[in-house]
Every structure is written in C-alpha cells, then in structure tokens.
Amino acid sequence: GEDVEQSLFLSVREGDSSVINCTYTDSSSTYLYWYKQEPGAGLQLLTYIFSNMDMKQDQRLTVLLNKKDKHLSLRIADTQTGDSAIYFCAESMRPGGSYIPTFGRGTSLIVHP
Amino acid sequence: DAGVTQSPTHLIKTRGQHVTLRCSPISGHKSVSWYQQVLGQGPQFIFQYYEKEERGRGNFPDRFSARQFPNYSSELNVNALLLGDSALYLCASSLVPNQPQHFGDGTRLSIL
C-alpha cells in the first residue's frame, strides 16, 4: 500500500534555509504536494509538482523530486518566523479514476531568532 | 474570492449522537473531498464527490456518509458518535478530481 513518511521536527534559525524531506512508496504517483498548516487552521496548498518534473521553483520555495529514490523535498529560502508551521507532504494516485491524496504525518518547522 | 468555507467551526457532541458538517467549495469547483485529522496526524481521506456522485471512499465505517448537492456544496454525516470521532474534519475542493485540492479551515468536533 501507499505510505508517505516525513521527519517530525525541524528547527532552523531565522534567515537560514530550511529543507523538509519526504519519502513515498507508490511509483505510480501522479502529483506530489506540499501543504502548510498553521495552528487552528486548515491546510494551505503551497506548491505541487507533476511526477514527470524534477524541480519546481516558486519564489522562496524549491521542490525537488527524485523519482528513482521516491524522495521529495521542500526548500524554503530565507526562512522567517512566519514560516513556523506544520508542513505536509502528500502524493496523489489514481485508483479507479479518482485522485486521492495520501498525507504524511507532517513536519513541524520551528524557526527561532 | 471566498475560499472553501465550512460550518460550524466548532461542535461538541456526546456519544451516540449524530452530526452534520457542511462545506461550500470554491466557486467553480465541482469536486469536494472530506478528511479526518486527529491530533499529530496528517489528514485521512473519508470521501470524494464529483458532480454529485461518490468517486472515492476511505477506510471509514458505515456510520460516516456524505452527499453533494446540485450547487456542489456538501454535507458529511456521522451517526452513533464515538469518542474516537473527536477530530478536525476538513473539506477540500478542486475544479475536477485530478486537480490540486484547496482546504477549508475545518470543523473541530469534540465528543464527550
């Protein structure tokens, strides 16, 4: 079955880069996503990448996909205190015609001055 | 434009009761999905609807049901509530099922 794994915590200093890693198991994944969840809120779609891409950059965010190793990473440049949140990796497959994202447990990013 | 809206934001129920949660998708989005998120976990998929038809169902008991209305809004119903149903229930919408989903802020359900 499908499974998405992430490390649970990451602590960085303000202004440094953050790299959040994720591994997934299903090689038939079509989309891979990064979501951000702040306390008391829902999930905010940060970025996503198609499985036929290796990299995607969007302002301070860079997503790298290594399909061979089934590894996805999210790099946040110049990390700010407002980036403190839980970050979820998700993969989306197409069983029976529906695209159902499977989420990891989330990585709690702590940004300190 | 309004994002995905869910109501109510918080709800307290007792064991054995039933609950109805509501979701309005982003304007123009025809696909709605429901998720359960317990503390410390990622969202777990419950249902997906598209054009008023069920397109996917997660590993949840039959006490959970949902429907989608002609205006694409959706309801999630849970019967015979158990303590373990306490969670944040998230609704997400997308234009069509194969597009990235956008989430609402959820309904926090507490069972006493």
pLDDT in tens, B64-97: 999 999 999 999 999 999 999 999 999 999 998 8
Whether residues A105 and B42 touch (CB distance < 8 A) is answered with yes
Q: Select the residue from B48, B101, B102 to test the A interface by mutation, using most A Cβ atoms within 10 A.
A: B101
A chain contacts of residue B40, beta-carbon cutoff 8 Å: 105
The confidence band for A93, taking pLDDT boundaries of 50, 70 and 90, is confident
Give the model confidence (pLDDT) of A61-89 as tens digits. Answer: 999 999 999 999 999 999 999 999 999 99
What is the pLDDT at residue B81?
Answer: 98
**Mapping DSSP to helix (H, G, I), strand (E, B) and coil, where does residue B3 land?**
coil
Question: Distance of alpha carbon A102 from its chain centroid, rounded?
Answer: 12
The confidence band for A96, taking pLDDT boundaries of 50, 70 and 90, is low
Residues A38, A43, A49, CA angle at the centre, nearest 5°? 120
The confidence band for A30, taking pLDDT boundaries of 50, 70 and 90, is confident
Cα–Cα dist A113/B32, whole Å? 40
Per-residue burial over A89-113, b = 16 or more CB atoms within 10 Å of its CB, e = otherwise: bbbbbeeeebbbbbbbbbbbbebee
Whether residues A43 and B100 touch (CB distance < 8 A) is answered with no
A17 touches chain B (CB under 8 A): no
Q: Strand locations in chain A, DSSP E?
A: 4-6, 9-13, 18-24, 31-37, 43-50, 55-58, 61-66, 71-76, 85-93, 100-103, 107-112
- Assess contact for B51 and B70: CB atoms under 8 A: no
Give the model confidence (pLDDT) of B19-46 as tens digits. Answer: 999 999 999 999 999 999 999 899 999 9
Cα–Cα dist A93/A73, whole Å? 19
A chain contacts of residue B34, beta-carbon cutoff 8 Å: none
Residue recorded with tokens 């306490």: B86
- Assess contact for A62 and A56: CB atoms under 8 A: yes
Residues A24, A112, A42, CA angle at the centre, nearest 5°? 50
B45 touches chain A (CB under 8 A): yes
Cα–Cα dist A52/A98, whole Å? 19
Tokens read off for B84: 């373990």
